[in-house]
Structure 1
Amino acid sequence: MGGTVRCYCKYFGVRPHGLTLVELLVVLAISAVLLAIAIPSFSSMLHASRLRGAADILMADFRLTMTESTKRGDDVLVSFQRDSDGSNWCYGLSALASCNCREANSCLINNAEHVVRGTNFAGILATPTHSNYWFKSRRSTITAGNVTFTARDGKQLKVLVSGYGRIRPCSPSGNSNISGFPICP
């Protein structure tokens, strides 16, 4: 055996192992079709996940603001800033005075900056009904309104706040609906 390997496949009726060019092209074509079907679904799932994340953090911050207001016996607020188209947005928590989340150390709670930026939720627009949501410690009330988060694909998620501090998410009916959330009133 001098280093050459002979294939006796034709004598035993066995085909040599490997792929032909045609077989490889068929596999690539099928993969491309499956990928083309999966990408829009993945994109929609990614937008819905970002919407849920933005809404969850805002609801947690509203609850934190209510807790801080009760604990301090003073008013605490959530201040929004955004561009006119809603794409560049942020909000911050502050005691007693409105704050600018675009300025360093402007939004402080317990001597720590508390700011959430829209850049953490790429492609999500925020539209609050008010620029400031005041939590009043005396009556345990808040400025009633909502914040609407909108994804690039048109899906929406709202965070509703009642005047008595009930905070809940909802999604509008129709094409902008996200399943798993109650329909907005």
Structure 2
Amino acid sequence: MKARQFPYRTGGFTLIELMVTIAIAAVLLVIGVPSFVAFQRSSELTSAANSFVAALGTARGEAMKRGRQAVVVPRVGSDWASGWTVFVDIDNDQQFNGADILVVQQGSLPSYFAATGQGTAQGSPSYIMFNPSGYTQTSGSVFQSATLKIERNDISGAEKTAQTRIVVIAKTGRARACQPASDTTCTTSASE
């Protein structure tokens, strides 16, 4: 008995299968792209805040290692968004000059970030200083906490609150980055 033969069919997709696949891909993109943008924004902001926390940790470590005051200052005036400089303050003037020991410098933040300080990080000159014991203090040797708020300046409303980070520097020298949208203790007036 002879085997039954079926008509030969070429491989490939039909037009309907192709249209369904494209429709599913379009729906996934519509759902996924906004989430990806929010994730990218959050990641950039977290990276900036963590860089500042690392600079503070470096300054604190240098102060304790060298037995001298170490300072973190904005690279330009009182504008923290211009970046920051960490140095050992040999002449105790809270300003980076030729007599001081440069430890590290951070370049400016992206133009869509704003950074504002509280405490000694707000004054003129703006600075965060660590004494040889690792505590933060003012130029008058008063122990004082400080904060630095980093936020996006290209968005507004609830989205802006979600895209804000605050670095809190306690009097003890401990620094932490937090997100005010999810942490009730994360405010510009926080001291720990």
* TM-score, normalising length: structure 1: 0.69
Q: Does residue 1:90 correspond to 2:83, yes or no?
A: yes
How many residue pairs match? The answer is 158
Q: Does residue 1:171 correspond to 2:179, yes or no?
A: yes
Sequence identity, in percent? 27
Cα distance in 2 between the residues matched to 1:22 and 1:51: 44
Deviations 1:152-182 (A, max 9, x none): 5521111101122121222113xxx4xxx67
Indicate how the Cα distance of structure 1 residues 67 and 168 shifts in structure 2: closer, same or farther if over 3 A, else same. Answer: same
The aligned residue for residue 132 of structure 1 is 127
Deviations 1:58-117 (A, max 9, x none): 112111111111222221110114699x795211112224239xxxxx9812xxxx1112
Q: Does residue 1:67 correspond to 2:75, yes or no?
A: no
SS at match of 2:171: coil
Indicate how the Cα distance of structure 1 residues 22 and 183 shifts in structure 2: closer, same or farther if over 3 A, else same. Answer: farther
- Unmatched 5+ stretches in structure 1: 1-10, 101-105
Q: Does residue 1:146 correspond to 2:143, yes or no?
A: no
Deviations 1:22-50 (A, max 9, x none): 33233222212211211111111112222
Indicate how the Cα distance of structure 1 residues 45 and 182 shifts in structure 2: closer, same or farther if over 3 A, else same. Answer: farther
The aligned residue for residue 186 of structure 2 is 184
Cα distance in 2 between the residues matched to 1:87 and 1:31: 43
1:140 positional shift: 3.2
Give 1:104-123 correspondences, 5 Å limit: 108-109=102-103, 114-119=104-109, 123=112
C-alpha contact 1:147 1:158 (8 A) present in aligned 2 = yes
In structure 2, give the amino acid aligned to 1:17. Answer: G
C-alpha contact 1:68 1:76 (8 A) present in aligned 2 = yes
Deviations 1:116-137 (A, max 9, x none): 1244x67443223322111122
Larger radius of gyration: 1
Give 1:16-95 correspondences, 5 Å limit: 16-81=10-75, 88-95=81-88
1:184 positional shift: 1.2
In structure 2, give the amino acid aligned to 1:149. Answer: I
* TM-score, normalising length: structure 2: 0.67
Give the alignment's Cα RMSD to 1 decimal.
3.1
In structure 2, give the amino acid aligned to 1:59. Answer: V
- Unmatched 5+ stretches in structure 2: 138-143, 188-192
Indicate how the Cα distance of structure 1 residues 182 and 82 shifts in structure 2: closer, same or farther if over 3 A, else same. Answer: farther
